[in-house]
Amino acid sequence: MLRDGFQMEPDFIPTDTKVSLANRLSEAGISKIEVSSFTSPKAIPTLADADTVFERIRRYPGVTYTALVPNLRGCERALACRVDELNVVVSVSETHNLANLRMRPEESLEQIALISKRAADNAAVNVSVSTAFGCPFEGRITRDQVFSVIDQLAAFGIELVTVCDTTGVANPAQVYDLFDAASRRWPEMSFTAHFHNTRGMGLANVIAALDTGIRYFDGSLGGLGGCPYAPGASGNVCTEDLVHMLQMMGYDTGVDLDLLLGIAHDLPAIVGHDVPGQVMKAGTSDRTYPKPAGL
């Protein structure tokens, strides 16, 4: 959110609304916001205003403002907008990479090397490794396949890697195994976990990743999102549900949950439909109600 949440919406979200949401998320204490995507407007028309949104948002101290860039051309646009961090994607699955980026994984890796070199001294580069737990077209993805990609990223000097369960097929045992091994193999890397909640295992997978020491997680306000090239995939783990769970467990997230829930409550009116988030509907787990009459 904002990019991952809005890219699947059928109707264009007004630019003013996107700018307001980015500012409100910053005020709530979200430490990293993926504001938009510098892809072709023909490919993702709902994010055609990326340049304007970045020009107009307020930059809050301590907040990293990121954007998805698919190639070197997108990188140049993002750098012109003073983006703090570039998010570049490569799929472990060749079929998914061809569908999503019109390139083979090795071609995407070549683009990542060029982007990393071009962005040096101007912006950080994070690489999202998609279909790391399974592919809707190729099926099972092995840990060795994922590590082969990360090995190449390490050779480019990439230090920020997001490991993505693109279609929500991961289970906690699989998540623990991959992140535990990856953290040991590349202790110099900073890993982020990215889970879609397609099969209701998103928060359980967060717990599994937490147990390996992972402390950075992607989320989407209201649980919006999906992937146009991942049939049946729902949105990312819901940001406010994730923050609520972590805070109830005693973690200091740095996020003002009340402010975040206020933003989430406005989301259905913005997108014109219900959203999957649970805490905004049920209230926090420490909420109490007046006693029934007569008790």
> Which residues belong to the active site?
227
Angle at CA of residue 57, ends 5 and 283, nearest 5°? 45
3-state secondary structure 107-159: HHHHHHHHHHHHHCCCCEEEEEEECCCCECCCECCCHHHHHHHHHHHHHCCCC
